[in-house]
Amino acid sequence: MATIDFSETSAIVVGGGSGIGAATTLLLSELGSSVAIFDINAVAASGIADQVRNGRCEPYEVDVSHETELQAAVAAVVERRGAIDFLVNCAASFIAAGRDATKRDWDQALGVNIRGCASSVSAVSRHMPPGSAIVNLSSISAHIAQPNRWTYNATKAAIVEMTKCQALDLAPLGIRVNAVSPGWIWTPEVEKAANGDRKRWEAVWGKFHILGRLGEPGEVANAIAFLLSPSASFITATELMVDGGYLALSAEGSGQESRFASSH
């Protein structure tokens, strides 16, 4: 695989102010792309932009569930940068609710995770030349049952299917669209769930993965960069699992505690 060189390219990373989005922003900038961060948290977005040298990164305060804000931000990027080569949709509502989910819970989950992703692709793709690429962030939660997770899991599953439809519709324009589905990644949301105690909880959550650990945001960013690159030129409508073997692992776990483990 050729070394990735994104010189003379322009990217938008939605949700680029923290977690996987921040890691993706920093990596794309390092590889030479000029990156616009769209994030509802202006302070976080500015903090990431400040880490990028040579002025190749600009923060925009955007709530992607608000169409007018999104359209205005896209117009501003196009005016400043011209065509947009890459779009990465990392923004997410992490509301997890089940039978007791309120209308407000559903509106937020659908507004950010589904409508925000759809609106971003619709708006940005109109300014993308042939050879451009889009990556949407889904999750292992798109494929499994988890307690009290109707809102989050439903939207992540929808992103996988929407990615396929977007890939079909945008293929005649020379635009590829793929999805990445991470396993448990040490992001701010996971750190919050662990009350900052990574040593304790990684030992617990790491057992859900064949590799026996949680992933790093940068490891997902590497996969995203690959899918955006020319090395993935014949890959579209595909979901790439970056899950440390989470979905391949059965209820038996690693098998180390099974009485059959030593015979295989």
Residues 25-36 pLDDT 10s: 999 999 999 999
Residue 209 covered by a domain:
no
Across residues 253-257, what is the average pLDDT? 69
Residue 233 lies in a domain: yes
- Of the chain, the percentage scoring pLDDT greater than 70 comes to 95
Q: What is the pLDDT of residue 1?
A: 55
Angle among Cα 93, 239, 133 to the nearest 5 degrees reads: 85
Residue 89 lies in a domain: yes
For residue 157, is it within any domain? yes
Structural domain of 238 = 10-187+216-242
Query: How far is 151 from 153, CA to CA, in rounded Å?
Result: 6
Mean pLDDT of 194-214: 90
Q: What is the pLDDT of residues 218-232, one digit of tens each?
A: 999 999 999 999 999
pLDDT at 259 over 90: no
The pLDDT of residue 250 is: 84
Residues 134-161 have pLDDT tens digits of 999 999 999 999 999 999 999 999 999 9
The CATH number of the domain holding residue 105 is: 3.40.50.720
Quote the number of domains for the chain: 1
Residue 249 burial (CB count, 10 A):
18
CB pairs under 8 A, 24+ apart, for 255-259? none
Provide the mean pLDDT of the chain.
93
Residue 260 predicted with pLDDT over 70: no
Bridge partners for 12 per DSSP: 36, 87
Is the overall model pTM greater than 0.75, yes or no?
yes
* Residues labelled as active-site residues: 152
Residue 229 lies in a domain: yes
pLDDT band at 203 (very low <50, low <70, confident <90, very high): confident
Of all residues in the chain, the percent with pLDDT exceeding 90 is 83
Within-domain flag for 106? yes
136 in any annotated domain: yes
Task: Answer yes or no: is 143 within a domain.
Answer: yes
